[in-house]
C-alpha cells in the first residue's frame, strides 16, 4: 500500500516511508511515556503489598500458636483429624477474606471519584468480566496462602498439648516472614522518598511561560480585528492574544534546512504580535515579530542549528522555501508536556489575523469571570461554538500522572507501615510470652534491663539488617526505571538511600524496644510465680 501511494517526487528523492498500525487497545502502551514502564512499577509495588499483607496474616496466625494450642488439642481429643483442623482454619480465613472484600467494596464506592481519577477509568470498566480475573487471583492468593500455611502448622500440634503449656521453640516459620515484611517496608520507604522528591521537582518545574488566569478556545472569526476589539473591551479581560495552537500542547512540526542541506525537525507555531508578552516569554536578544516573513526562535533552535553566533538576520529555510528572517531569540521554554518532553527547538512565525487558538487573560475572581466570558461570547456570537476553558487546569492535567503515582505510593507506604507494625507487634508478643521465663531467670541472676532489651533487639536486628539492605537496593533499581521516563531527574544521591535504610532500621528496632520495655523492667516474680 505504501509503494502504491508514496508521491513520485519522494521516490525520486529516495525518501523512506514507514507505516505501523496499532490496535486502539494497545495505543496507550505504545506511547513513549505512561506505558509499560509505569505499569511494571505499579505491578511490582502491588506484588510487594500483596505478599507483605498475606505473609503478615500468616505471621500473626502462627504467632498465636502458643495461645491456641490447647484449643487444637481439645478438638483432636474430640476426634478432629489434621484435615479437619486445616479446614477449620480455611473457613476462618475465608470468612475474614470475605469481610475484607466487602470492606474493600465499601471503600471503593465511597472513594469512587479519586480512584477513578487516578486510574483514568470508571469502576465499572475496571471490574468488567474480562478484568475480574485480576482481583479474583489476588483474593485467592490471600485465601490459599493465609489459610493453608497456618492451618498446616496448627494441624501438626500433638494431642498432649491439652495437658500442658505449649511453647513453640522453632522460629523458622517466623523469621522469613519478618524478613519479607522488613524488605517490603524498606523498599516502600525508599521508593516513596524518591517519588516525593521527583514529583516535587517535576510539578514545580519552570516552563518558561505563565498560564495564570488564562483561558483559551479555538475559533476563526469572519472579522478578526473586530473580534479582537470586542474581547479587549470586555471589563473583566486583561489581555488577549492568538496563535495556531496553545503553547502547552506542543505545537506542530516543520523541517528546517541547514546550509549543507541537512534537515532538522523543529516545533512551529504562528503567533500574533501580542503573543510573546502575553505569555511572559522573555526575549534574550533582538525584538518581537512585527510583520510577515519574520520569525523568532528560541535558544534551543540555535543550539541545534549551530547558529549561536550572530543569529539575528539569518534566514530560516525549508529546502527552497524561506520561512522567515530571524529578528529575535527567546529564552528556552517547555512547549510540550514538561514531565516527559525536554526543551525543544521552536520557530515562531508571524500571523496578522486574530484567530485559531484564542487566549484571554482574565481579572480576578477568575472562575466567576470565566463563567461571564462564556455567557457573553454565546450572546455575541450565537452561531459560534466558543467555550473557553482554564489553561492552568489544562496544564495541571499534564502532570496528573506523576501526582497520581505519588498518591498511590503514599497510600502503599501507609498500608505497609500499618501491616508491618501489626506483624512486628504480633511477633514480639509471641516472643515475650515464649521467653518470659528465660527473661525472668536472667533478671534473677543479675541481668539489667538494658541487657534484656539488647538481647531481644539483637535477634530482630540480624533479621532486619539484610532485609532493609535488599529492600533499599530494590527501590534504587526500580526507582531508576521509573525516573528514566522523565525529561529530567531530580537529584537523589546514594547517601539518601543509605539514610533511608538507617531510618528504617532505627524504626524497626525502636518498635522492638518500646514494645519490650515493660517486660525488661517488670518484676521477674510475675513471670515465674505460676510455676
Please write the tens of the pLDDT for every residue from 218-250.
988 888 889 999 999 999 999 999 998 888 776
Distance from C-alpha of 510 to C-alpha of 434, rounded to nearest angstrom: 21
pLDDT tops 50 at residue 158? yes
Contact of 338 with 213, CB cutoff 8 Å: no
Sign of CA dihedral 174, 177, 182, 183: positive
Distance from C-alpha of 400 to C-alpha of 137, rounded to nearest angstrom: 29
pLDDT tops 80 at residue 464? yes
Task: State residue 223 phi and psi, 5-degree precision.
Answer: -125, 85
Distance from C-alpha of 301 to C-alpha of 330, rounded to nearest angstrom: 10
Chain centroid to CA 527: 50
State the DSSP string of 104-129. Answer: HHHHHHHTHHHHHHHHTS-HHHHTST
Distance from C-alpha of 370 to C-alpha of 433, rounded to nearest angstrom: 67
pLDDT tops 70 at residue 163? no
In 3D, which of 411, 415, 430 has the Cα closest to residue 512? 430
3-class state of residue 22 by DSSP = coil
Q: What is the mean pLDDT of residues 72-79?
A: 80
Residue environment code for 24-50, b if the CB has 16+ CB neighbours within 10 A, otherwise e? eeeeeeeeeebeebbeebeebbeebbb
Sorted by where each begins, the domain ranges of the chain are 27-205+400-528, 214-363
pLDDT for res 33:
47
Residues 6+ apart with CB under 8 A from 150: 58, 61, 62, 89, 93
Quote the crossing angle between the two packed helices 174-203 and 449-483, to the nearest 10°.
50
Q: Which residue in this structure is represented by grid cell 534491663?
A: 449
pLDDT for res 195:
86
Contact of 252 with 245, CB cutoff 8 Å: yes
Distance from C-alpha of 347 to C-alpha of 324, rounded to nearest angstrom: 10
Task: State residue 128 phi and psi, 5-degree precision.
Answer: -75, 165
Neighbouring-strand partners of residue 217: 358
Residues 6+ apart with CB under 8 A from 22: 30
pLDDT tops 90 at residue 103? yes
Q: Do strands 315-318 and 355-362 pair parallel, antiparallel, or not at all (unpaired)?
A: unpaired
Contact of 243 with 356, CB cutoff 8 Å: yes
Contact of 214 with 361, CB cutoff 8 Å: yes
Range name among 8-22, 413-427, 487-501 with the lowest pLDDT average: 8-22
pLDDT digits (tens, 9 = 90+) for 269-291: 899 988 999 988 888 999 999 88
Percent of the chain with pLDDT over 70: 91
Tally Cβ neighbours within 10 Å of residue 449.
14
Distance from C-alpha of 342 to C-alpha of 511, rounded to nearest angstrom: 45
3-class state of residue 418 by DSSP = helix
pLDDT tops 70 at residue 165? no
Q: Has this prediction a pTM greater than 0.75?
A: no
pLDDT digits (tens, 9 = 90+) for 191-210: 889 888 988 888 788 888 88
Distance from C-alpha of 303 to C-alpha of 429, rounded to nearest angstrom: 66
Q: Do strands 321-330 and 346-350 pair parallel, antiparallel, or not at all (unpaired)?
A: unpaired
Confidence of residue 528 (pLDDT cuts 50, 70, 90): low
Distance from C-alpha of 430 to C-alpha of 433, rounded to nearest angstrom: 5
Most confident of 66-75, 330-339, 371-380: 371-380
Distance from C-alpha of 45 to C-alpha of 149, rounded to nearest angstrom: 24
Amino acid at each position: 500500500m505504501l509503494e502504491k501511494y508514496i508521491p513520485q517526487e519522494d521516490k525520486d528523492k529516495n525518501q523512506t516511508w514507514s507505516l505501523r498500525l496499532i490496535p486502539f487497545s494497545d495505543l496507550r502502551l505504545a506511547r513513549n511515556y505512561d506505558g509499560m514502564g509505569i505499569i511494571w512499577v505499579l505491578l511490582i509495588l502491588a506484588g510487594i503489598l500483596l505478599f507483605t499483607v498475606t505473609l503478615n496474616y500468616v505471621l500473626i496466625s502462627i504467632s498465636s500458636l502458643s495461645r491456641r494450642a490447647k484449643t487444637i488439642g481439645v478438638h483432636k481429643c474430640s476426634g478432629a483429624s489434621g484435615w479437619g483442623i486445616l479446614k477449620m482454619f480455611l473457613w476462618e480465613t475465608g470468612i475474614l477474606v470475605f469481610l475484607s472484600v466487602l470492606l474493600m467494596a465499601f471503600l471503593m464506592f465511597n472513594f469512587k471519584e479519586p480512584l477513578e481519577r487516578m486510574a483514568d477509568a470508571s469502576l465499572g470498566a475496571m471490574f468488567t468480566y474480562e478484568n475480574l480475573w485480576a482481583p479474583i487471583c489476588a483474593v485467592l492468593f490471600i485465601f490459599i496462602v493465609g489459610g493453608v500455611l497456618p492451618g498446616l502448622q496448627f494441624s501438626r500440634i500433638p494431642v498432649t498439648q491439652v495437658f500442658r503449656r505449649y511453647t513453640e521453640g522453632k522460629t523458622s516459620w517466623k523469621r522469613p516472614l519478618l524478613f519479607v515484611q522488613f524488605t517490603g517496608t524498606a523498599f516502600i520507604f525508599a521508593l516513596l522518598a524518591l517519588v516525593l522528591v521527583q514529583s516535587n521537582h517535576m510539578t514545580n518545574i519552570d516552563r518558561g511561560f505563565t498560564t495564570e488566569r488564562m483561558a483559551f478556545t479555538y475559533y476563526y472569526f469572519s472579522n478578526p480585528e473586530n473580534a479582537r476589539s470586542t474581547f479587549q473591551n470586555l471589563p473583566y479581560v486583561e489581555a488577549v492574544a492568538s496563535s495556531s495552537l496553545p503553547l502547552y500542547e506542543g505545537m506542530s512540526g516543520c523541517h528546517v534546512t541547514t546550509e549543507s542541506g541537512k534537515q532538522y525537525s523543529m516545533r512551529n507555531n504562528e503567533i500574533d504580535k501580542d503573543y510573546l508578552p502575553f505569555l511572559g516569554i522573555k526575549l534574550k536578544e533582538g525584538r518581537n515579530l512585527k510583520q510577515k516573513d519574520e520569525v523568532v526562535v528560541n535558544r534551543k533552535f540555535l543550539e541545534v542549528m549551530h547558529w549561536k553566533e550572530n543569529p539575528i538576520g539569518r534566514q530560516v529555510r525549508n529546502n527552497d522555501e524561506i520561512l522567515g528572517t530571524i529578528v529575535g531569540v527567546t529564552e528556552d521554554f517547555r512547549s510540550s508536556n514538561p514531565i516527559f518532553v525536554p526543551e525543544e527547538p521552536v520557530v515562531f512565525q508571524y500571523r496578522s489575523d486574530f484567530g485559531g487558538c484564542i487566549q484571554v487573560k482574565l481579572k480576578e475572581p477568575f472562575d466567576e469571570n470565566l463563567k461571564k466570558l462564556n455567557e457573553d461570547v454565546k450572546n455575541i456570537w450565537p452561531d459560534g461554538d466558543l467555550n473557553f476553558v482554564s489553561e492552568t487546569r489544562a496544564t495541571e492535567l499534564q502532570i496528573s500522572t506523576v501526582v497520581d503515582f505519588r498518591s498511590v505510593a503514599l497510600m502503599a507506604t501507609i498500608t505497609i507501615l500499618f501491616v508491618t507494625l501489626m506483624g512486628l507487634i504480633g511477633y514480639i508478643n509471641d516472643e515475650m510470652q515464649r521467653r518470659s521465663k528465660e527473661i525472668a531467670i536472667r533478671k534473677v541472676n543479675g541481668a539489667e534491663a538494658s541487657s534484656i532489651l539488647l538481647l531481644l533487639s539483637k535477634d530482630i536486628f540480624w533479621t532486619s539488617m539484610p532485609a532493609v539492605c535488599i529492600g533499599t537496593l530494590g527501590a534504587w533499581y526500580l526507582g531508576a526505571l521509573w525516573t528514566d521516563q522523565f525529561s529530567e531527574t531530580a537529584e537523589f544521591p546514594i547517601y539518601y538511600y543509605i539514610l533511608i535504610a538507617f531510618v528504617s532500621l532505627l524504626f524497626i528496632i525502636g518498635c522492638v524496644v518500646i514494645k519490650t520495655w515493660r517486660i525488661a523492667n517488670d518484676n521477674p516474680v510475675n513471670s515465674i510465680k505460676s510455676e
